[in-house]
Structure 1
Amino acid sequence: MRNAAMLDRSAAPRDRRFALVATLLALAAVLAAVNLRAVLDGASFWSALFAPDMTDMRDVLVHDSLVPRVLVTLLCGAALGLAGALMQQVLRNPLAEPMTLGVFPGAYLALMIAGLWMPGWLAAGRETVAFAGGALAMLAVFALAWSQRMSSLGVILSGMVVNLYCGAISLAIAVVHFDLLTGLMIWGGGALEQTGWQPTVHLFASFVVCALGAALLYRPLSLFDAGDSTVRNLGASVGWMRFGALLIAVMLTTVVVSEVGVIGFVGLAAPLVAKLAGARRLRERLLWAPLTGAAMLWFTDEIVRVAASAEPFSAHLIPTGTVTSIVGVPLLVALLPRLRSRPDLSAPLASPLVHRSVRTSLFLCIALLALVCALSLTVARGPHGWYVASFSQVDTLLFWRVPRLLCALAAGVLLALAGTLLQRVTANPMASPDLLGVSSGGMLGIVAVLFATGSLSPALLFAGCVAGALVTLGTLFWFGRRAAFAPERLLLTGIAISALFQAVVGALMSSGDPRAGVLIDLLVGSTYYVAPAIAWSIAALAAMALVIAPLTARWMTALSLGAPSAASVGVPVARARFALLLFAALSSAAATVIVGPLSFIGLIAPHIARLSGGRRPLSQMYLAAALGALLMVCADWLGRQLVFPEEIAAGLVATLLGGPYMVILALRRRAMGVA
């Protein structure tokens, strides 16, 4: 017995919480001390802090800028860490973060609208406008999720729709008014520079109030580890408990975004890193997630400050919020091997609208797809309004329209298949092709080519995209091989890769570099200017994917029951996971090379397919593929017509088209009383 206990203790992962947080804080403190010494230049720190001479610039910098910046950074990191811990607990999903409820994009969109068209709103203060935008986004999420009784899946799906909508509208505005929004992009990147103590006091008071609220909810929140049904059996109201915890998380996030702007990745990484470092219980996570978030953000800010003083970056302002992943990603990847048990990624499958069979839904999708394809080839707007092209006109324009049509069809099919595979294999409703990181890797390759060569040559950009996607794919499966391709590790590794890409893009967007405008055009997802040879190639790949899809159905059905059950019926779990995830990654990479990172199709098409009757893997895959193709072709056609002679990128239009349909299906499901 004694030997067994010793073996158990030796096999248990070591607790690294204190060492991790202490190391980050110590490194940040050393960098801050070096900077402080240079600024003081022999002056007394304590005099500058408590009795500053406002005629001495050294005292002013220390008292009103450097010290408040450190405190604001610590408070923002702690607030986002606590918000992420609360969201991941009540939604029972390790991919949940402050971005989930649309607070960040809602605040950003509100400031965009105010800055461009309603400047009078800014008289109330930028913080007030940002707070109002974030609060409205949160209310929209809660309003949609309330009809689903605030279920975990309902909140996640509602948050995704609001998040994608606000992001799509913001991106569309940025494409048109890029030159006018440079200052907002700097703020939106999370600029932590301070000119006084008011934000510090506000953040501290808000954090204390929210932390007390979280402490009062500790006992009810701990019940969520047992699942919603257990909580209901104990007589507790799941909806109200989830609403209360999410309200605290949203308040924390909104306060941060209203004071310093958007700070990404900390709310996702801090709770995960704290858990992987040893904070297994909820009580521990509620304490160590804020500490980890504060340490991560402070160390990141000090690195950014040092980098900004270096010669290559001295001409550009680098907002800290855009590059928080430079510290969080290595920590997350290094600790992933400690993930010994699979986290609860599951969510109940939404019941379909049972009045319509899968065959009927598939037939309707194909019929609508044929109609939209015909419209795309024959109906358009011209200088004199709408017209239907004659046969000779269609024949003349086929060289241009057919490649675009083929690309839209193929991209929709590939992304929908990839999304269905990922959501089935991981049992996670938030899984989408971009979470594997392959799309981000491909776009990172394009960014590298654009900024290294300054060339917009399609051949060079294509080569960069392929190279980035292949390198990312190799990295992803190198990590996955060590864990038998466990989907939760691959998803978290993919998120880390995507976060690095977003950090690079965010830093470039806020740097003022003129090439950032070109980068926005590449990000919105476009089918423009595709060569016929490439269009036919991507169409052939999509057809091949549809042929291969039936071969994956048995594995997906078995894996949905769990790895032990799948192995008991003869499924080689590691090999099956590898094959399915490779299929998803290659499909995502092929679509990204052509139309950019259109994550929305792969995220939403599987949900619409399931709500439309596609419950089994194969039926869901084919129905999602038809819906993805329909959304992409319709988006491409409408994008050419709505603001003629200008064009709206297909990725933005697809987001605006698909969201309402999914919301309508979900609300109808609730109205029909389907459980």
Structure 2
Amino acid sequence: MSSKHMPSSSRKSAPADTAQATVGEAAAAAAPRNLLVPVTSLVALAALALTLWVMQAQLGGASLWTALIAPQPGNLHQMILHESALPRLAITLICGAALALAGAISQQVLRNPLAEPMTLGIFPGAYLALGVAAIWAPAWLAHQRELIALVGGGLAMLLVFALAWRQRLASLSVILSGMIVSLYCGSLSLALAISHFQLLTGLMIWGGGALDQQGWHASIALLGRLVVACGAIYLMRRPLALFEAGESTAQGLGVSLMRTRFAALGLAVALTACVVAAVGVIGFIGLAAPTLARLAGARRLQQRLIWAPLLGAALLWLTDEIVQAIAVSGVFGSQLIPTGTVTSLIGAPMLLWLLRQLKSRPDLTADARDNTAFFRHDRPVRLIVGLAALTALAVAGSMLVRRGLDGWGLVSASQFTALAFWHVPHTAAAVAAGIMLGIAGVLVQRMTGNPIASPDLIGVSSGGALGIVAAVFLMAAPGPIGLFVSCLAGSIGTLLFLVWFGHRGRYAPERLLLIGVAIGALFQAVSGTVTASGDPRAALLLNFVVGSTYYVQPIVAAIAVVIALIGLGVAPLLANWLELLSLGEDTSRSLGVHIDVARLATLLLAALLTATSTLLVGPLSFVGLMAPHIARSLGVCRARHQLLAAAAIGALLMVLAQWSGNLLMFPNEMPAGLMAALIGGPYLLWSLLKRRRAPATVDG
């Protein structure tokens, strides 16, 4: 039939049908491909292949099938495989599924793609609680391990929410608070390990995420808890799904957001506590599995609740088999690296990559107002002289007041002369490190416009520490010069990365902080892997991690003092640039500042000072954060005066940290860098808690 004989309704509907078909084809072409089955199968098949290879290597030629089904009582290899390797495989799958499920529901109720037990502080809090119980309540640890971990993880998460509450639980604010709580809990755990080394040696090895098993009881118990949690999540599936429509829509449909959110997070804490109690800390599986499930095509919550646990089980299975394959190959000798440290090596770079997906961030202009002095000191020079005199008094006190077997007392002239060769270099190193960290903190805060930045908190110190790790393991016998050059290269590389990333993100302060925290987590994972490997060079690395000045040689202390004096002389010359850089890039350029030159000069000086201080007191002390803040709170606002005041305050803090570390634990010593972190952590938490409430804004 020709078109002129076609009914009018048919002629009108033909173009519409054609347009509808075209739109349908375009939508089908634009629809994301579902790769859930191929991705999960690929990971599982790779893990299975490695499992079979590792099992054959462990059996030493014995029958694999017999070992799996009915091991011969007299065959030790078959018995080990049946009673240890298979339970290890089972608990690996269960832990991976539990952590992925905890991460999926946390991300759903917080609307935050970076939420998971590690970034929310649950893991470090649970581990710290177990360490405290192991020292002061060992009977509880033997019978109430899961309850202790649950309480510790829950308290840590509540602290995270308290820190982020004034920012209305904005995504970056929650993760930043969680990572800071994680850092401080890690510092406390390390302090406990040093002060009670004999009691916590086994807990330290186990806490790295060791999946070794000696039977099926742990796997069966954890599987029962996972089934109960799955049942509870199934009952909550509809309220949880409504979070995707937005909070206002969910409230309009009668969902109690607060009750649902805390119920879901309570389940996440419970799952995490069970995993910690069973195998220790295994980080970032709860971040990786839901993210991969979403990227592979799991767009709806119901899909992620199924595929995220499957992917989590497969990912942890593959990671653990890689660890066992490395152990079988003998790369690290007879030592078996804890699986949890390897997951952190993978998860920290993933955290950096996922930062690009976050669009909302809290407005930090209120933070800048809160952290700026409400008054201006009339005579800042007199204040700086007073701070320097107070520092000199603290130095004299640290050398003259002692604690011995007969109690407290003053050092006699003969004792001072006998110990001067040991005490003077250590005190000089602490003073130099404090001066350098104080100056570097002001430089970094002014350069980035970030009121809560510091060289250790934004990862510059951790980058330098990674350079030290590279030098220790790549050089045959690295000397002080080689370690310093490697540390300086790591610090400069980290600062360059921060400047590049910050320029792309318009120097959003909390993004820079999260990058630094991720770099710090990467360093902790590297140091944990090296320490667990049993390599004798790990002892040298541990000294850098805890920031002990005990092994500082006189020549190293002298070089540090010279560099600190150079910083004191050069930094005030950059004061005018720092004043203008803190006003913003556009304003600075309009006032005639060569932004690239000013930023490069500031960057190089900050890297030099940070690298030197890292060699002396380790990568985490918080002095670079506290010193500039205290200077501002005293009314020192101009850049030149703030640099000098922060240098004096930093020296005072480091001397007090070293002095208290020597006295409190006599006859043992608490390293100066770690002691400073223990002092500075509460200050950092307090500075975050006092921030004014600010509305969330959108990053363009």
Aligned residues: 655
Shift of residue 84 of structure 1? 3.1
Instruction: Give a deviation string over 1:434-458, Cα, whole Å, max 9, x none.
Output: 5765433422332344355675743
Distance 1:353 1:39 in 2: 61
CA spacing shift, 1:115–1:644, aligned 2, 3 Å = closer
Counterpart of 1:108? 127
Shift of residue 53 of structure 1? 5.4
- 2:284 aligned to which of 265, 275, 279: 265
**Residues 147 and 667 of structure 1 are in contact (CA less than 8 Å); yes or no, is this contact kept in structure 2?**
yes
Return the letter of the residue paired with 1:138: G
Counterpart of 2:677? 655
**After the TM superposition, which of the residue ranges 144-153 and 574-583 deviates more from structure 2?**
574-583
**Residues 47 and 321 of structure 2 are in contact (CA less than 8 Å); yes or no, is this contact kept in structure 1?**
yes
Counterpart of 1:28? 47
Distance 2:457 2:687 in 1: 25
Counterpart of 1:139? 155
Compute the TM-score of the two structures, normalised by the length of structure 1.
0.75
Shift of residue 144 of structure 1? 7.8
- 1:507 aligned to which of 524, 529, 536: 529
Shift of residue 306 of structure 1? 0.8
Distance 1:547 1:79 in 2: 55
Return the letter of the residue paired with 2:558: P
The answer to whether 1:76 aligns with 2:95 is: yes
Return the letter of the residue paired with 1:531: A
Counterpart of 1:152? 169
Alignment of 1:410-559 (within 5 A): 410-415=436-441, 418=444, 424=450, 433=455, 437-451=459-473, 455=477, 457-470=479-492, 498-526=520-548, 529=552, 530-541=556-567, 544=570, 548=574, 551=577
Return the letter of the residue paired with 1:638: S
Shift of residue 187 of structure 1? 0.8
Counterpart of 1:638? 660
**Residues 362 and 694 of structure 2 are in contact (CA less than 8 Å); yes or no, is this contact kept in structure 1?**
no
The answer to whether 1:373 aligns with 2:384 is: no
Instruction: Give a deviation string over 1:33-58, Cα, whole Å, max 9, x none.
Output: 2234455656463x655666555546
Alignment of 1:226-305 (within 5 A): 239-275=258-294, 285-305=304-324
Shift of residue 385 of structure 1? 3.6
- The sequence identity of aligned pairs, in percent, is 46
CA spacing shift, 1:386–1:118, aligned 2, 3 Å = same
**Residues 408 and 636 of structure 1 are in contact (CA less than 8 Å); yes or no, is this contact kept in structure 2?**
no
- 2:210 aligned to which of 158, 183, 191: 191
**Residues 404 and 535 of structure 1 are in contact (CA less than 8 Å); yes or no, is this contact kept in structure 2?**
no
1:191 match: secondary structure: coil
Distance 1:300 1:244 in 2: 31
Distance 1:9 1:553 in 2: 55
Distance 1:312 1:30 in 2: 20
**After the TM superposition, which of the residue ranges 470-479 and 516-525 deviates more from structure 2?**
470-479
Alignment of 1:158-237 (within 5 A): 159=178, 162-178=181-197, 181-217=200-236
Shift of residue 490 of structure 1? 7.6
CA spacing shift, 1:187–1:438, aligned 2, 3 Å = same
Shift of residue 643 of structure 1? 4.0
Distance 2:258 2:629 in 1: 22
Shift of residue 386 of structure 1? 5.3
CA spacing shift, 1:416–1:85, aligned 2, 3 Å = farther
Distance 2:98 2:479 in 1: 44
Counterpart of 2:10? none
1:313 match: secondary structure: coil
Distance 1:488 1:667 in 2: 15
Return the letter of the residue paired with 2:227: V
Return the letter of the residue paired with 2:207: G
Distance 2:605 2:110 in 1: 29
Shift of residue 251 of structure 1? 1.2
2:214 match: secondary structure: coil
| Contiguous gaps of at least 5 residues in structure 1 | none
Distance 1:94 1:362 in 2: 49
Distance 1:143 1:492 in 2: 18
Alignment of 1:88-107 (within 5 A): 88-91=107-110, 95-107=114-126
| Contiguous gaps of at least 5 residues in structure 2 | 1-18, 696-700
Shift of residue 577 of structure 1? 10
Instruction: Give a deviation string over 1:55-112, Cα, whole Å, max 9, x none.
Output: 5546534443233222211221222233334444555555544234544334434444
1:316 match: secondary structure: coil
1:203 match: secondary structure: helix
Shift of residue 252 of structure 1? 1.6
Shift of residue 254 of structure 1? 0.9
User: Root-mean-square deviation (CA), in Å?
Assistant: 5.6
CA spacing shift, 1:600–1:489, aligned 2, 3 Å = closer
Distance 1:272 1:571 in 2: 43
Shift of residue 321 of structure 1? 1.3
Return the letter of the residue paired with 1:293: G
Shift of residue 247 of structure 1? 1.8
**After the TM superposition, which of the residue ranges 607-616 and 623-632 deviates more from structure 2?**
607-616
**Residues 419 and 602 of structure 1 are in contact (CA less than 8 Å); yes or no, is this contact kept in structure 2?**
no
